[in-house]
Each structure stands twice: as structure tokens, then as C-alpha cells.
Chain A
Amino acid sequence: MIGLHTVLMRKVRGVRVVDLAGGAFLVLMVLSVYASKAGAGAEGAKIADTTRQIAAEEQQVRLLRAEHAYLTRPDNLRRLSTQYLNMGPIAASHEVTPEALLQARQLATLPAAAPPATAPPAVAEGAR
């Protein structure tokens, strides 16, 4: 301890070593704060840039979602499905249970079975 004290109390060109060490430490701390701030600033800029990108993407998503909703609006789908696919609301008579389908198939395979009703293929309204 005495040795360290002696070293620190030594003077270089009239300035004590302990003062020089303290000064150097102070400069080091200032520099480290400066470096940290500069690093944080750079990261902040990156975050800001990413946030801007997210906002732009969100804007784009909102726009695409609105466009999708516009194109798939019910009246538009109804018009297109009627015009190009001859689709329409499903009639109750076109709904059958799986058991009934099986029964219909069995009836169709019988020799004297009546011809099946000429109903258009069922279309699901859920497609609208």
C-alpha cells in the first residue's frame, strides 16, 4: 500500500501521477459516454428507419385490404358469379344428407329406377 501511495504521489513535470491518472480516467469516461451516445444515436436512427418501414408496410397492407374488400364486396361477387358462372342462392331442394345421397345412388343403380331429377349442380352460397 505504501508503495502504491509512493507511486501515485510521484510527480511528473510537477504534476502528481494520481492527478494525471484521474485526468486520464475522466477523459476515458467522457470518451466512452460519447461513444455510447454515438452508438445509441446510430441505433435510434436504425429504429426510426425500421419504424418508418413498418408504418409504410402497414399503410400498404391497409390499402391492399381495402382493395380486396372492394373487389370481393357482395354485390360484385353476386354479379360476377351470376354473369360468368350461372351461380345463385342454393335451394333447399339441393341440400341432401350423405345418407340420402347413398340412397339416391342405390336407386339409380336399380334397373327400374326412375330417372333422377334434372337439377343443376348445387352451388354453395358460401362461395359468395
Chain B
Amino acid sequence: MSPIDLSSPYRAAPTARQLWRWLVEFVWRIEHAFERSRAKDRPTDDARLRIFLLLALFTLAFCGVAASAGRVAVFAKTHVGAGVSEPNGVRATLEDRNGLLLATDLPSYDLYLDPRAVLAAHRAETRDALLEALPRIPAERIEAAFASGRRSFLVGGLTMAEKALVHDLGRPGVDFEETPRRFYPLGTSAAHLIGYTQTRGAGLAGAEHALDDEIQAAGAAGQPVQLSIDLRVQAALEDELDKAAVRFQSPDAAAIVVDVHTGEILAMASYPTFDPGNLRAASPEALKNHVAGVDYEAGSVFKVFTLAAGLDTGAVSPTSTFDVSHPLVIGSNHPIHDFDKGDSTLTLPEVFTHSSNIGASHVALAVGGERMDRYMRAFGVYAAAPSELAESTRPLPPHRGPDGRLDPGVLAYMSFGQGLSVTPLQIATGMTSIFNGGTYIPLTIRKRTGEAPAGRRVVSEKTAQTMLDFMRMNVTDPKGSGKSAEVPGLSVGGKTGTAQKAGVGGYKANARVASFAAVFPTAGALGDKRYLVYILLDEPKPAPGTFGFATAGFTAAPTAGAVINRIAPFLGVKRAPAALAAPLPTAAAASPAAPVSASMGAD
């Protein structure tokens, strides 16, 4: 009788004990059946029954296996490409505008040691083998891993070759984990513009941070992200800026090259610089982007904005004259002086080329505080430069009275770039809006593929053309402050700026910021190809050949000339045939860096 009473109205689930008893009784019943067969003297029945039972068991098992195999074979889904990992989380490769590599993700490996898989007798041997293969593993970390008794991290950032070296040791307990690592093959080149990322994640600075989402999305799609910079232009700019910073002992310096029509930043250099692949070695000063993230009093390059506002409002014209024979005193402010060049009356172009502070002040006063405010706002002087770069810093605006208006004294100082601090990126953005024909467009670090954005008009084309003429005049005029920026055949125009640095209780006597804003070629129509080069040297010192001066005419201007001389061929700017007409002229006759005594003392 079955131990489970199936006739009972209440069928409780059988327990394991009951099932076991039922199985034992079933086997015994079969066994008794065999005994009964023998007792009835029918042993053949006994053997047949046993064979039948075995057959039934095997058949049942095979049917089960066949059914399972059939189900798997016929109904299981087939995964095409199964087993291949997708490159999730990989950042896109960064390239310059010509497709040259700037940053990419490469596989990197972390090395781990699991002491449980290493016999005690082999530990010393394992340690010695690891240290021989990879000496940069800290020995104490291996000892700590053995002492911990669990899988421990030894060292990260192994290259594929290093991994192969350790792997070939064939040591048990040694294994690897793959982690993508950002690689910056150019070292310090364009470091501030490219930026850097966290060890395994998001961008922290430069384009890596500014275009983070775009880089992640492009990485998932397997597409590169192209930046606006041209590596050849970048290299030339960095080289010349480094040489100038070293020659003039500047603690920091900044430079930028911009296509004025598209607003693309073709090169951006900040000194000192750093290697994004080795951030631990970088000083905080080196990490600072001096183009976008540091405010300076720009000095006389601001006269470009002042005169543009004066011309555009009609407050002054190229034929206007200004008395600069005496220092200008406004209220209780310090008197405004010019560098003494024996001037008494200057026309507007001369105010520009002689870099007259008194003349520029007169222009600003003629325009008036309200209109100057409007123009400065239009040039982007009062707000952080609208670039993608998160480093773009807000300016230090000029002091205003209780009514929010600019005091005439402040207005006069602002006219020649003192009393407010802006970033070189702001200067470049404002200048671009004048020299492209008068349209304000934000500068970009992205390569533009279509047409440049429409922008908004800030000055008329006539004003833009006049300012281009003034810029050129400042380089060609015998008394022009930008003479040393001249490059044969490229019709370079420019404006110097030498600003005293503010300190505690006023301006410092011997600390200056020297800058030069150059535009080339100035010849041709307003819509022709044109580039802006801005160079800034912080606290430059006199050097051999500068006659004891460290003003912009001796420091920043020749640097800009040298940069333009090198980058023009890369940008497709051809020299005017007249400059090349003479067969094989001597090198000394055309050296752009030759000091020009006529510009001594010019700012």
C-alpha cells in the first residue's frame, strides 16, 4: 500500500521522508516480484523484467536529452557577433582641423596579485620576477599584497607591451584588468586648448571638458571630433611664444591666432604649459589657461576699440586733430601723459600710430560715457568671452559712480586700456568683430563645416576698413609703435599695448604687461582671407637688443611678426609679389625681429 493516502479528501504535499519511504517500498516490491518469479520457477520472466526496466530507464533518459537538445537547437536565438564587446564608454579621438591626432583612448591595464594562488615557497620568486619585468612596481606593494591575503592592486597604466611582458612570466595569481586611458601624443602642445580628463571619465579642462557630451557621443559612434586648431600654426605660435617668454623673462604669456571671418581659433598658446599625460608634474600656474582664464589690463591695444567707437559714432573722423602738448588732467585723477615724442598736435591716425594716451582720452570723452559703454558692451568687453571653453573668465569691469555711469576720469583711462581687466580671449573676440567687417561672432574651438554664423553688426564696414588702414599705418609709419612687426609682403597691421600692472595702493613702477594685436593681410577687400594674432607677455624684462626697453614695440610686436612670418604659408596667405621681386636678397635686410630704433619707447 502506498504510504501516501491519495483517497484522502485532504492531500497535503508529501514530505521528503514520505517520498523516500515510497521509493524504498517500490524497489522492494519489484524485488519481491523477481523472488515471486523464481518461486514460480519462471526465472526467464525475472531476467526479462530486469532488462525491460533498464531499457525503459535508458530510453527515458535519452528522450529527455534529445528533447532538450532539439529545443535548444531549434528554438534558441542565434546571436550574430556574440562574444564581441562593444566599445562602450570610449571617448572619441580628438583631431586638429587637418585630421592630425590630438588625443585618443588607448587600452591600458591594471596589474593585480592574488596571493591565495601563490604557494608560500614561490612568493619570493614571484616578487623578484615581477620586479624584474616591471621595475616601477613598488616592492612594498607586493609585500602588502602577500600580507593582505586577498587580491590586491599593484600598479596601473600598463601598456600592451608591458602587459605582454608580465603575462609571459606565467606566474599564477597575477592577472590584469583592462581600463581605457586617455593618451595625449603631443605632450605639451596645445595642452590648454585640448585639456584633460579624469583617469576613467569625464573631461576636466579645455576641449575635453567643453565638448564632453559631443566627445562621448562621437566615441560611441566611432567618429572623431575635429577641433578648429591647425597643428602647424599651433606649433609655430608656441615656439615663438616660448622663445619670447624665455628671452624677456616673462613669468607667463598668452597668444592666440583667429580666422576673423569664421571665428575659428587656429592656435592658442599659454605659457607656462604642462603635459596632460603627466598632470602630477604640472604646477598650478602651468595648468592655468592665460588666454581664457586670466584677466589683464590690456593697455593701448584698447585704442582700437576707442577709435572704432569714435569713428563709428561720428564723434571723430580721420581728419580730426587733438592737442597733446600738455598732460591731460581730469578731476582729481592722475594726469594722463604720452610717451614723449615731441608731439603737440596729432591727427586721429597719428593718435593711433603714436599711441597717444591723451589723444585716445579726448576721443573717448568726445564719444561720451553712455555710447562708449554701449560699444564696449557690443565688443564683448564687459562679459566673459562666449567661447565653448569653461575657462573663459569674466572681466574686471571699470569702476562706476553711484549712478552706474562711467566717471570721465575712468572713461579716459579705459580709452587706453587701463582701469579694467580683460582676458586675451576677449580682446581677440572684440578685435575679430572689427576686422572681419564689423560683425561680432563668438570664437569657437570647433572646426566649422558650414558657413560662419551671421553674428551681429557692431561697427560699419567703413569703420572696419578705416581701422584696418590705421593698423597697417602703425606698422609702416616711421614713428609707428608696431614697426617691428613688419613682415615683407604680408601687409601686417597691428597695435601695441604696454600697461602698467596694478599693485597694492596703485600701479607698480616697473611691472608691465606688453601685448600686440596684429591683423594680416590688411590689403584686399573686407571679405578677403584675414587673420588676427594676439601676443601678450606678462612683466617682460629688457633683453640684449632692446636698448633697455621692455615695451610692447620691443617684445610683443616682433614676436607677432615672427609668428606671422611662419604661419602665413600654412594659412595660404601669399606674399605680395613686390616683396619677392628682388632676386636673392640677404637675410639681414628682411629680418622681422630686427629692433627698430624709431619705435624706441613706443608702447
Residues of A in contact with B (beta carbons under 8 Å apart): 30, 33-34, 37-38, 40-41, 43-44, 47-48, 51-52, 55, 59, 62-63, 65-70, 73-75, 78, 89-97, 100-101, 103-104, 107, 116-117, 119, 125-126, 128
Contacts and interface: CB of A to CB of B under 8 A. Distances in A.
B583 A119 contact: no
B575 A92 contact: yes
A104 to B, nearest CB: 4
A75 B232 contact: no
B231 interface: yes
A92 B487 contact: yes
Contact of A47 (B70, B80, B487): B80
B599 to A, nearest CB: 20
B569 interface: yes
A48 B81 contact: yes
A18 B566 CA distance: 91
A119 B84 CA distance: 61
A73 B275 CA distance: 13
B265 to A, nearest CB: 17
B583 A63 contact: no
16 contacts: A40-B78, A44-B78, A51-B81, A52-B84, A55-B85, A70-B186, A73-B186, A74-B234, A75-B187, A75-B188, A90-B569, A91-B565, A96-B584, A100-B584, A103-B583, A128-B235
Interface string B180-215: 000101111100000000000000000000000000
A78 B189 contact: no
Contacts of B187: 70, 73, 75
Contacts of B584: 93, 96, 100, 104, 116-117, 119
B104 A44 contact: no
B474 to A, nearest CB: 20
Contacts of B581: 97, 100
B107 interface: yes
Q: Among the interface residues B80, B82, B586, which one has the most CB atoms of the partner chain A within 10 A?
A: B80
A69 B185 contact: yes
Nearest to B582: A100
A103 B566 CA distance: 26
B585 interface: yes
A103 B105 CA distance: 54
Nearest to A63: B106
Given A69-B100, A74-B189, A93-B589, A48 B583 contact: no
B279 interface: no
Q: Which 8 pairs between the two chains have the least Cβ-Cβ distance? A: A74-B235, A104-B583, A69-B185, A70-B185, A69-B101, A92-B488, A51-B84, A93-B590
B83 interface: yes
Contact of B235 (A37, A78, A103): A78
Contacts of B186: 69-70, 73-74
Interface string B316-330: 000000000000000
B74 A73 contact: no
B565 A44 contact: no
Nearest to B591: A91
Contacts of B87: 55
B138 to A, nearest CB: 27
Given A73-B185, A75-B188, A125-B569, A93 B586 contact: yes
Given A44-B82, A51-B84, A74-B189, A38 B580 contact: no
A98 B189 CA distance: 36
A94 B76 CA distance: 74
A17 B586 CA distance: 108
Contact of B74 (A34, A107, A116): A34
A107 B78 contact: no
A69 B184 CA distance: 9
Contacts of A48: 80-84
A94 B235 CA distance: 21
Nearest to B107: A59
A100 B101 contact: no
A78 B566 CA distance: 13
